[in-house]
Structure 1
Amino acid sequence: MKLYLSADIEGTAGVVKWSETEPEDQYYPYFANEMTQEVRCACEGAMEAGVNEILVKDAHHTATNINPEKLPEIVKIMRGWTRGPQEMMAGVDGGFDAAAMVGYHSASGTNGNPLAHTMNTQNESVTLNGRLASEFMINAYTAAYYKVPVVFVSGDRSLCESAKKLIPSITAVPVSEGIGNASVSLHPAAAQGAIRKGMLQAMQGDLSECLLKLPESFEVSILFHVHDKAYYASYYPGARSDGLKTVTFHASDYFEVLRFLLFVL
């Protein structure tokens, strides 16, 4: 079996400040290591279930956070950004049996994580067909575009709950819970163990039950913090201003949605 795994850091156990996710911060090495360990455990759980090929996408900030040496030898890792529309899902295609997301976080416009955001901090919210869109949702639809089921996610509790609403059969492992500007996290060893166990469970289940069905059409709406970002985005072909700080885009092909997000978000 072949697994695609996308990893972020804001949903990693213990992370609570933006500075902790930045390479210049004194605490960043600790949390980059925790991100690495959670990915390692996810890979080990998948391997125990029979997966023999894994591609990991380092999908936070510089995309150079994970220590490849600490991952199992069967893992290939994509570091850096291709600058293509797949973004956090770069490299995914129809050849994968399943996809997983580790260290994911709540969306802009929600309070499930002190670092809640969608793609960047320049927007107040992103909606997809009227629903607040997290990076998980955007990337789950990307997997669905290639007919790859998303079987596992770990991150903050609110994100995991929203993931279950989108894909009821997904295995979701919460490792933290946001409370205002604070967060309560599992002990790192407990988080890693839960991720390993959850991934094993996910890969032993009926993968097809986690294949998300794509809508027939898409409406994306982005509410920016400042009006000039919306003005700029409104010049993307097919986009329109929808209020002082909002831009909206319609498409029937989800790849066009990804192309729009790449250039305006």
Structure 2
Amino acid sequence: MKILISADMEGATGVTWPADVLPGTPQWERCRPMFTSDVNAAIDGFLAAGADEVLVNEAHWSMRNLLLEQLDDRAVMLTGRHKELSMLEGIQHDDVDGVAFLGYHAGAGEEGVLAHTYLANTVTGVWADGARASEGYLNSLLAAEFGVPVVLVTGDDRAVEDAKGYAPQAPVAAVKDYVSRYAAVCRTPAVTASTIRAAAAEGAALAVRTPPSVQPHTVELEFDAAHCVGAATVVPGVEKSGERRVVYTSPSMYEAMRCFKAVTTVVSAAVEEQYG
């Protein structure tokens, strides 16, 4: 049994504000061990429940945040940019039996600690086939396309509530409770490690591949400024759907996520530091 851990940082233990997750800040350095502790707890839980391999895919920002020197020696880590499938890199090789969404968060425009979807700001909402979509929701559609079930979700209480909509069978572990976008009631690393470990052990039983399910998907994005629409529609197939919205349809979720990456990259380059 092989488990892929997609490890994001906003939903990690102790993380509550931008400096906690921005590479190079003192707060980021402080939070890296807690992030690594969350991942180690999941690794331990999966292996204790019968997993043979665990691949940890760094999924946050520069994708160089976890402390390799503190990682459980029984796992391996994929770190750095750039990757074909970004947060789910590794799932496309037909050897992953289950995927864990660790340190995830609520989507753009929703209540949740550091809630966003791919871009820290600028994107104010994402919809997939008409349903409001967080990163977890989008990634669950991609995982399903490869026949891989979501077997664990961790993050704040809003993130685990969001998971009920896309992976209702998956065990969850809330490491903190939302107060505002930049505040939370946090549990200590020892407590969250225990919770994550137990949830991972439970989730291992769900790691059973299913037949791949490939179908078209329509994705719509809303931005905080109209000029972002002009930038996004440079990407082939992306069309304006409103004053601050664009939409596109792809033949598969694999292609939809690749287009999503292109759109967010182009839009990010069109945003100025002071005026957005």
- Supply the RMSD in Å over aligned alpha carbons: 1.8
Identity of aligned residues (%): 28
Provide, for residues 107-148 of structure 1, a one-character-per-residue CA deviation record: whole Å limited to 9, x for no partner: 0010122x1000012211111112221111111122112111
Provide, for residues 166-203 of structure 1, a one-character-per-residue CA deviation record: whole Å limited to 9, x for no partner: 22211111111212242112122111110011101111
For the 8 Å contact 2:153–2:172, the answer to whether it is kept is yes
Give the counterpart letter for 1:259 in structure 2: R
Distance in structure 1 (CA, Å) of the matches to 2:169 and 2:229: 36
Find the counterpart in structure 2 of residue 171 from structure 1. Answer: 171
Instruction: Indicate the SS of the match to 1:103.
Output: strand
Instruction: Indicate the SS of the match to 1:102.
Output: strand
Instruction: Indicate the SS of the match to 1:242.
Output: strand
Provide, for residues 194-249 of structure 1, a one-character-per-residue CA deviation record: whole Å limited to 9, x for no partner: 0011101111x3434x9698584311110011222211111322211011211001
Q: Are 1:217 and 2:204 matched, yes or no?
A: no
Distance in structure 2 (CA, Å) of the matches to 1:45 and 1:104: 18
Find the counterpart in structure 2 of residue 42 from structure 1. Answer: 42
Query: How does 1:98-177 map onto structure 2 within 5 Å?
Result: 98-113=98-113, 115-120=114-119, 121-177=121-177
Q: Are 1:258 and 2:257 matched, yes or no?
A: yes
Runs of 4+ in 1 over 6 A off after TM superposition: 210-213
Give the counterpart letter for 1:92 in structure 2: I
Instruction: Indicate the SS of the match to 1:191.
Output: helix
Distance in structure 1 (CA, Å) of the matches to 2:230 and 2:83: 23
Give the counterpart letter for 2:163 in structure 1: A
In structure 2, the CA distance between the partners of 1:143 and 1:172, relative to structure 1 (3 Å rule), is same
Distance in structure 1 (CA, Å) of the matches to 2:30 and 2:225: 34
Distance in structure 2 (CA, Å) of the matches to 1:77 and 1:235: 35
Distance in structure 1 (CA, Å) of the matches to 2:144 and 2:155: 20
Give the counterpart letter for 1:197 in structure 2: A
Distance in structure 2 (CA, Å) of the matches to 1:32 and 1:211: 35
Distance in structure 1 (CA, Å) of the matches to 2:247 and 2:210: 27
In structure 2, the CA distance between the partners of 1:206 and 1:77, relative to structure 1 (3 Å rule), is closer
Distance in structure 1 (CA, Å) of the matches to 2:36 and 2:75: 12
Find the counterpart in structure 2 of residue 190 from structure 1. Answer: 191
